[in-house]
Structure 1
């Protein structure tokens, strides 16, 4: 199933300027867990009371913590340094989904059971207009060796190929070419929006465990909105939350903390669920991440589809800010509107 898309684009058109760094805000972390309770050590038997008690146990090793988020621009801000020192570990996709399900119960239909398919991504806080390359870097960790590809390498190649002036990416096709060259992966460019036959292609792709890159308009809370492309942004999707009438058996286990939420059992063959029909509202949510927060978000599929399909205009504020931007012939409409990028390891099949 391949979306009909033109495989070539006309040369890009530059706009103008040089970047101004943006400083992300890093939240304070939780305190490390307390040491193990040693109050239940065995007491010496009364028949051996003459034997001196054993020496005290050595102190427990320091509690290990997950890796904090990657932050660029750290050397430029004392506030960032202090915040990162207190930053907690990056939450897993499952942890964030359960947090969101508890926090926004009214958004998720109570008449459905939910199945979560997800893979964990690292976090990277972007500096400047690098949201697309940051999203590609995060997606690449699911496709490349564990060491990954440095963001600096992605930026360097994108500039050398003329895809970007300072990190911005206004072409999904250029993003696909960059991914093929730097990540040595397969890419599939979707055109015509995320609805129709592309919807099933996207959902099966995510259920299989592969990432998806989507341009959209970003609202104040990072969620998709409709601003005609003025707030064009990139996100990587690493999973999907499906609302179903019944969970197929076998192969799924119910979450011990949240009844009604199910997860595929690792290493156990499972029957694929029945996909919610298009037009059945509130049953499909994309598990997404972008470069301004290290938390995952759950976005209603239709909301993402509609935002992606109305990316038509270049932001007037960017057009007059004096910076240089690389925009393809045909503008934002030709480069981003109704398009998305599927990424797979090179050895995988469709």
Structure 2
């Protein structure tokens, strides 16, 4: 609740004359204060003194903030879906680098490849469709396809009942139909030969949709699929021993952090080897936070590889869910979606 108050000017004290002594004619009036502060020029001795300006009007009370009720989520969606993507990725990355500087290897230089996305907080089990909506703002600019349309199409095609998406293949078919993009189903996990494909895809500025198990802080964990969730990655932070030139510029605030120069041809950096620990971080967003997060690539890979069991809590909540034949093992485990215009 925002309260406001108006302050009134203190009343000017009344001037009283002393009644002591005999009544004598009043003395000559002293000069006006404005005359003392700003003496008139010789050519304007007889100019009349302008009257003082009237006191300013009382400040109007600010309108009370609009308190959102049940319509909050719908209004939030409409506002965000009409807004252009906010440039927040670099700021969030630099905030994370400062906050968790001990987590990042000091023997490496870092190159950040990123694309900016708007945020949208999910309602219920809509994390996959919200991630697809965010990715769609890059594929169908400036604001993508309305989330309601994604939900409607997914429901009509039989991909979802509550907004949940337990099939990467279904997500790919939905993306191609609604967004008109190219969706490549990645199978076999994010490691091995798929690793370089994923990193080159992100360096090129294309979005990646990843199912994983979500921990309490939204980071990847391993719960056998009981906390299955979706995220969209639109960038990567690479730790390298040498930054190729030209085409990259060092950050003014954080020495050792480099950004590709927009519009300038550049040599792609050498990708860190798969055995290099702590050298690759995915820049990711998901539907339960406004901010980007940096996730260690190996942590995401391992979480994605163990999505095998449907959540017992969901199985007992009495709601209907669309789960593919073979369960999460067949629909999510070791899979991701590469999206291109």
Q: Does 1:309 align with 2:302?
A: no
- Hey, what does 1:64 align to over in structure 2? none
- Hey, what does 1:19 align to over in structure 2? none
- Hey, what does 1:162 align to over in structure 2? 158
Partners of 1:75 and 1:81 within 8 A in 2: no
Q: Does 1:216 align with 2:225?
A: no
Q: Does 1:281 align with 2:264?
A: no
Post-superposition, which runs of at least 4 consecutive aligned residues in structure 1 deviate over 4 A? 77-82
Q: Does 1:114 align with 2:110?
A: yes
When the two structures are superposed, what TM-score results if normalisation uses the length of structure 2? 0.76
- Hey, what does 1:240 align to over in structure 2? 236
Structure with more relative contact order (C-alpha pairs < 8 Å, separation 6 or more): 1
Q: Does 1:290 align with 2:290?
A: no
- Hey, what does 1:188 align to over in structure 2? 184
- Hey, what does 1:264 align to over in structure 2? 260
Which of these two proteins has the greater Rg computed from alpha carbons? 2
Partners of 1:232 and 1:311 within 8 A in 2: yes
Q: CA deviation at 1:158?
A: 0.1
Partners of 1:90 and 1:294 within 8 A in 2: no
d(CA) in 2 for partners of 1:297, 1:168: 22
Per-residue displacement from partner, 1:272-314 (whole Å, max 9, x unpaired)? 1010000110000000000001100000000000000000000
d(CA) in 1 for partners of 2:164, 2:317: 14
d(CA) in 1 for partners of 2:247, 2:337: 29
Call closer, same or farther: CA 1:249–1:164 in 2, change over 3 Å. same
Q: Does 1:252 align with 2:211?
A: no
- Hey, what does 2:53 align to over in structure 1? none
Per-residue displacement from partner, 1:105-164 (whole Å, max 9, x unpaired)? 111000000000000001000001000000000000000131420000000000000000
d(CA) in 2 for partners of 1:103, 1:121: 22
- Hey, what does 1:207 align to over in structure 2? 203
- Corresponding residue to 2:124 among 121, 124, 128: 128
Call closer, same or farther: CA 1:338–1:107 in 2, change over 3 Å. same
Q: CA deviation at 1:229?
A: 0.1
When the two structures are superposed, what TM-score results if normalisation uses the length of structure 1? 0.74
Q: CA deviation at 1:77?
A: 6.9
SS of the equivalent of 1:299 reads strand
Partners of 1:91 and 1:295 within 8 A in 2: no
Call closer, same or farther: CA 1:79–1:307 in 2, change over 3 Å. closer
Partners of 2:87 and 2:117 within 8 A in 1: no
Identify unmatched segments of 5+ residues in structure 2. Answer: 1-42, 44-67, 80-84
- Corresponding residue to 2:70 among 57, 63, 76: 76
d(CA) in 2 for partners of 1:177, 1:122: 23
